[in-house]
Structures are given as C-alpha cells and as structure tokens.
Chain A
C-alpha cells in the first residue's frame, strides 16, 4: 500500500516530464527540419564551414604586439598595470625574503605552532614532518618560492573575495549580478585563466599571482555571500530590535554568524590558490610547479616526483589545518596569550637557527629520490609497459584505449556534420535544463566554430567524453559499493580526502610514469582527478535516499538489486546528475592540462602558443576552452540545481 501511494504521485510528474521532453524534442526537430537544409545548401561541409569563421590571429597578434611595444610607454600600463605588477613582485619577494630569513627551522616551527594552535598536536607534528620532508627532498627553496607566491595570492584573493562577498551578501541587486559570473567562473578550467593575464602582464610572477587571484577569489566571494545570507533571520531581527546601527549589525552579528562559511571559503581559496600556483608555472610562477613542469617536459618522472611530493604534502597540511579551524569555529577561547607564546617560540627557533648559521637547508641532508625513482620507472618501462602475460602491459592498455576508444570517438565527432553537433548539444541541454541553458550551450559551441578551432576542440571533446565515460562507470560502481557497505566507505574516505585536496597538476606525474605520454595518459589523469568527487557525490546521494521508501520496498520483498534499480537510483537522480556535471567539469580541467604530456588539441595549442610567443594561437585556444567548459556545464546542468541555488 505504501509504495502504491508513494509511486502514484511520482508517476504524474514522470509522465509529464516525458510529455514535455517529447514536446521539446519535437519543437527542436521542427526547427532543425527548416534550418538544416538551408545551412547544408549554403555551406555543405562536414566540418565547420570556413565561411563562418573569423580569423582572430591577426588582430590578436597585433594587439599583443601593441601591448608588448607599449608596455613601457603607455600610461595605462605605466601607471596602472605597471604599479600592480611592481606591487606584486615586491610583495612576493618580500615574503620570500622573510621566509628565507626565518630559515628552515623557523619556518617549520612557525608552521607547526600555527597548526598546533588551530588544530592540535597531531596536525602540528604532521606539519613539521611535511616541511622537513620538503627539505629532505631538496625542495626547500622551491617550496619557499611557491609559499611566498601563495601567501600574497591568498591574501589578495581573500580581500577581493570578502569585498565581493560582502557586496553580494548585503545587496540583492549585486547578488543577482555577481552570482552567474561566479557560477560560471567556478566551472571554467584553471588553465583558461592563464593567457589573458599573460597578454596584459607578460610571463612572470605578476601574471601568475593575478591568475591565481582570479581563480581563487570566487569561492571566498561565494561563501562569504552565502554565509551572510544564511544568517538566522530571527537573530538579525533581535539585533535590530535592540536598536543596532547598520555597521554594528554587520560587525557584531552578520560577520560572526558567517564565521563558519568564511573559514570554509578561506580553506577553498587556499586549496585553489595552491592548485593554480602550481599550474601557473607554465606562465613563469617558478617554485615547485616549475620543477614538475620542467621535469615532465623531459619525461623525468623521478625529478617530477621529488617536486610533486612537497606539493601534495603542502596541500594535505593546508587543507587539514584550515579545515580544522573551520570546525572549531565559535568554540575556542578568545585569549591571545597562547598565540603570543607560539609566536615567541617560533621567533626563538628562527633566531637559534640564525645563530647556528643554519638558515639554508643543509645540502648534506637532502635525499635524491629522482634517481631510484627513475630506475624503478625504467624497470617498469622494461617489464610492465608491454607484453605482460595475460593482462598485457600498461603501454598496451594506453595504446588500446587510444586505438579503440579515443580515435573512433574523435573521428566520429569530427566526421559529424557541424550542424548535427549543434543539434545534439541543443537537444541535450534543453532536455536537462531550460531553453536558456540550451541557447548558451549552442552559442558556446558555435563560438568555437567561429574561432576556427572546430577540429582541435572536437579532439579535446573526444578525450573529455571518453574520460567522462570511464569516470562515470568507475565512479558510479565505487559509489554504489560505498553506499552499500559501511566498511568499504570507511576505508575509502581517507583516500578520497587526500585525492580531493591534490592540485590537478600532480596527477600528471604518475600517469606519465605508468603510461608514457600521449592522449591516453592525459585522459587517465583526468579520470583519476575526477573520480573522487563522482564517487563521493554518488555515495552521498544514495545514502540520503529516504529510508522509508527503501523500507517499504524491502517489506514488499524486493531484492537488493531491485531496491537499487527501482528505488535508490531513481530517488538519487539529482545527485547522480550532479555527479555527471562535476565529473565533466573536472575532467575537462585536467584534459586541457594534459596538453603538457602529449594530450595535444586545445591544451597543447594554448601552452605552446605561449612558449613560442605566439599569443594569438594561445588566446584563441584559451577562448575555445572557455566555450567548451561553458557548453559542457550547461549540457549537464540539471534545472533542479539552478532552482535550488536561486532559492
């Protein structure tokens, strides 16, 4: 009886949905029936018609040349961008000098003491160990370079984010304006931010810091606004009822009430800043990312790993410490004294290090892992790459994946008539969303054609589709398993935690070791990067299914498989759609970075355009990446999510 009444009301919207879906498709077919013959008659070609492209190379090249020529003379650059650039360079350098002056002992002590105050003894030990490991790996200086850049970038991001967040949190009008922009920035690959800043600032630290700020500030802004808006209405009413002025209301109630969100925003901003600071090595950020980048360029896995491990350690430590700060929000005492002791202790250690003449990490204390790692990789290359009995070698797998999956998908996509690609995009986006999302998606896809990068974009798209398919199969299977078994979930959780905190860049290292270079490794890195989020969202969605619905199914004697198919999966549909959306966004972010390890296509165009000073090619590729990201997000963005966000 229970299921009968439960399913009856659900049948109605379901039927309605199908009905509406059919309507949409019918309408689209009608439009297509009129437009396609017209378009086909005019520009009959499989690929995007040349007549419909606009060559931006010339204007972009001349623009970039103009900027390069005028950087030292034009007042805009001299008095605005120049000042920004100088300020960034000076502050990064200042932080770097302070870190060096504190010496390795001072920095380690400071890190550990901060972690101790914020998160307890265990994380303090972990932090100290992480810093020492950076030194042991011979990466002390590189770590400090990255840290200096991060400190400046995070400070600026937080200021920018908080200011924007305050604006959006306090004014409905600004919120309506900012929200779609921030939402969109959230789904764009980190890579896409690099080229525009290079156009203005040239390669180097200022560009890296600014790209990092642009990438890392949005979460701070979003969460600040969210926290301010989420405040308990009655508390604010109580504050008003006591006659508080607007500034009093903000400072004594709204901001403290949003403390949890603010700290979560800080956490996300720091993690995104680290991720970007590493990727920005491509535009001259230096530091750890640069070591990885150089090593990967020469396929030196050992050296890449030596720089990659500190990145991972830094990521885990930063995430845990800032996360712990968020959890403690509101509980800790306000006393300043322990902080003073901690600061004094750190200064004492730094001075001791200075007096002992041991500021720099001693060379004799480093341990070169590059060589043994490379030996292991060589052994792997010799023994595991191919010809392993029964299972085949890793390179064989990569080869097969390329031959049997990537190539057919790519040639299939590129062989499709251009208008049919647009039609498919429109149909998918409209079915899952509204006509607005469909329009955005189609326009984004068309823009790719107009930019004249239809073929490489479809190449990137084919990698994304293949990687997403693998991610979803693995992710859903693991997610279902994790939802069904508590033990498996407990085992999985720490693994997911670590994987979700790692910057995108480091995923390239192990795949190069395993699969060499090419499109398959790029796709593999994307899969590994996107998998944790998909697993997590799937498991959570399944676990949150109404227990009453499950119980009634069980009481009717449904088998576990039936329960899953008939109750859990349908009810978890919104979560599964969100998992698809996240999977697509994350996969794209890494697939384009895969251009660095032989992924080719748009990722390659944008970096190597950059490396060869051919900014125009790079910018066009970057714009295509943005369009692709926009299109993929809209095509997979369920309407429910929009509605919930709007509420």
Chain B
C-alpha cells in the first residue's frame, strides 16, 4: 500500500453535537473540555463526535471500533452528511464535502460512497433483485440495464435463485447480502458499513466477515467499517480507530493497538485478545543479525507469532526473521512466550 496516495476521506477536527445551540459547543473551549455527562448537564447537548481526525487511505479497510454509544454511527453518517456535522472538515479525494450543494452531495451518495446498514434497511415491498437495483433506479438507469447489473451483483454475493423473493422471505444473513449487493451495485469508490453483522448469529457473522475479506481481496475497494466487536475489527481492519465517548483514543494497525495500547482504557479493551493471532514476528523478534546465511526456519516479518510458534516448536531452535534475503532479527521461545503472555517489552504507541 502506498502511503503517499492521496487519502480517500480526510477528516479533520470533526464535531457532531446534538441538542439546542449545538453550534456553540465546538467553538467554546470552556465546553469542549467538559466530560460528556457534565456537558449534557450544563447545556443539554450530547457531543456524539468530538474533535475527530483521520485519513482513510485508498484501498484500505479502515475500522472504527468502540462500545455502543461511542459515536461510531454518527461519525460514519457525517462522512456523507446523512447527519450534518457541527464543525470540522471532511474531504473526499480532496473535495470539501461540507461545502457541497445538494446536487453535488447527491452525486457523492449515488456514485462515490454507498452504505450497508445494521438492520439492512431493505424495502420490504420489493423483490431482492429490485432492492439490489434500487440505487441504480435512483440514478435513472434504465430498467433492463439496471436489472442486468443487479443480476451480476446478486451472483457475486451468492444470492442466485433468490432474485424474486421478498426480504421477509430471507434469513438475516441473506438479507445483509442483499444490503451488501445494493451497495455494490452502484459500484462506489468507498463502501461504508455500520455494524453490518451485529444483528446476525455468530456463525453467519463469520461467513459474512469472510465474504467481506474475499470481496476486498478481489476488488481492493476502500472500506470504512464500523463495529463494536474487537475480533471483527482485528480480523478485517488494516487500521483501526478506537473510539470512546466520541473521541478517537487510538488509531493504528491491529498490531499497534494490541501491542502498544495508548492508555489503560485500550489496554483493558484488548486484554483478552489472543495476541499471537495479531502480533507479527517483526515486532516480537530480537533485532540484530542471526549470523550466517542459512537463516534456520526463515520467517517473513509480517508472519503471525502463532505461525512462528509452530516453526520454533517443531525445530526446537530459534528462527530467523528474513526480509528480502536480509536478516532482521531472531525469535526464540522466550520472545514468543513473551508475546503470548503479554509481557514482551512494549514499544510506545505510534
């Protein structure tokens, strides 16, 4: 991934305050420093998103995670102004979203960013095919063309044979596939997901997560993914923004979040994660040359610690971490166990 790429979404100092005289809150330093409860008591306002900044890079899966009520849904809706932000800037491909007029905004929603919702948001009176084609219908695409395109997407999400059913005749997982297909049908630049799998049973949720991983691998589409489920975030996210009370408390790769929690809140959050499934040997290794050119049990630096454990256990010897034929360091029993136990020397959060 090229970090120099222009970000798809660039969010800077974003605020969303609900309540009377919401506009005055972000501008008043006396109010912005208050805790949420105090702010509500003082002004009757709820600050759902507080001074949030981040970039979403092209092609990445950007996960926003946090407990319920932390402002995730509000944040993702601000991106396409389904909820009007109170302050701050949002840019998509460098274009100021908050300055867009109605038709420009419509164009953004029609072609550039499509959303998948927690409770699916399907139209109950339409068939699966017509639901999937709905976005195209809104755009004014002719009937036969939109049906043909919808048909392709329906196949892509594995719903063949169900085109003529109504949403009420589908299971939860199938409904969300329709929701996903409806968003994909308009071929958007970015997909926005708001807790899309929270309403599904665990097994089906796993299927759907794999579906998203597959889609992302095949198409490389940029995704902003909201979830309250840490394992989902770690599984899908290239980078994760962890929210609490409307603020982003840490932003980083899954490994950074798990390996170097920014504060006690994040530490508590990631306490029960199987760290060997997230941490890579690149972080776990003892840096330095392993000597020699044989590189026993050579591992790539982005290999998971869990895999390294297998290699080291099998050979009974430390393994080298090798990148492009160059030795970066060594992992041994002690290092690997340190990762599993969570006692390895911490790096400071990025």
Contact = CB atoms under 8 A, between A and B. Distances in A.
Contacts of B115: 238, 241
Contacts of B105: 243
Interface in A239-272: 239-245, 248, 252-253, 256-257, 259
Given A238-B115, A330-B166, A245 B106 contact: yes
B109 A256 contact: no
Interface string A171-212: 000000000000000000000000000000000000000000
A242 B82 CA distance: 10
Interface string B84-115: 00000000000000000000011111110011
A247 to B, nearest CB: 11
Contacts of B77: 237
A248 to B, nearest CB: 6
Contacts of A232: 119, 121
B174 interface: no
Interface string A576-605: 000000000000000000000000000000
B124 A330 contact: yes
Chain B CB within 10 A, most for which of A244, A248, A259: A244
13 contacts: A234-B117, A234-B121, A235-B121, A238-B117, A238-B120, A239-B134, A239-B138, A241-B114, A242-B109, A243-B138, A253-B123, A330-B125, A330-B166
Contacts of B139: 243
B23 interface: no
A263 to B, nearest CB: 13
B186 interface: yes
A237 B134 CA distance: 14
A242 B105 CA distance: 11
Given A241-B80, A241-B82, A256 B138 contact: no
In the A-B complex, the 3 residue pairs with the smallest Cβ-Cβ separation, listed nearest first, are A238-B121, A243-B109, A243-B110
Nearest to A249: B138
Contacts of A243: 105-111, 135, 138-139
A239 B139 CA distance: 12
B255 interface: no
B121 A237 contact: yes
Looking at B108, B115, B166, which has the most chain A CB atoms within 10 Å of its CB? B115
Contacts of A237: 77, 82, 117, 121
A235 B106 CA distance: 17
A242 B80 contact: no
B138 A244 contact: yes
Nearest to B109: A243
Contacts of A245: 106, 138
Interface string B134-150: 11011100000000000
A234 B122 CA distance: 9
Interface string B186-212: 100000100000000000000000000
Contacts of B108: 243
Interface in A215-248: 232, 234-235, 237-245, 248
B118 interface: yes
Contacts of A259: 125
Interface in B164-186: 166, 179, 182, 186
Interface of A: prevailing SS: helix
B260 to A, nearest CB: 36
Contacts of A242: 109-110, 114, 134-135, 138, 182, 186
A176 B106 CA distance: 30
Nearest to A235: B121
B119 A248 contact: no
Given A241-B109, A243-B110, A245-B106, A234 B119 contact: yes
Contacts of A330: 124-125, 166
B122 A240 contact: no
Contacts of A257: 123-125
Nearest to B192: A241
Nearest to B119: A234
A235 B123 contact: yes
A6 to B, nearest CB: 29
Interface in B257-282: none
A257 B125 CA distance: 7
Contacts of A240: 82, 109
Contacts of B117: 234, 237-238, 241
B185 to A, nearest CB: 10
A252 B137 contact: yes
Interface in A442-460: none
Contacts of B137: 252
A315 to B, nearest CB: 30
Contacts of A244: 138
Interface in B274-318: none
Contacts of B111: 243
Contacts of B110: 242-243
B221 to A, nearest CB: 16
Contacts of A241: 80, 82, 109, 114-115, 117, 192
B241 to A, nearest CB: 21
Interface in A281-336: 330
Nearest to A234: B121
A186 B194 CA distance: 43
A241 B82 CA distance: 7
Contacts of B186: 242
Contacts of B120: 234, 238
A248 B107 CA distance: 15
A245 B137 CA distance: 12
Given A252-B137, A256-B123, 17 more contacts: A234-B120, A234-B121, A235-B121, A237-B77, A238-B117, A238-B121, A239-B134, A241-B115, A241-B192, A242-B135, A242-B182, A243-B106, A243-B107, A243-B138, A245-B138, A259-B125, A330-B166
Contacts of A239: 121, 123, 134, 138
Nearest to B81: A240
B118 A234 contact: yes
Nearest to A248: B138
A172 to B, nearest CB: 16
B22 to A, nearest CB: 18
Contacts of A252: 123, 134, 137-138
A238 B108 CA distance: 14
A422 to B, nearest CB: 41
A243 B106 CA distance: 5
Contacts of B80: 241
A245 B109 CA distance: 11
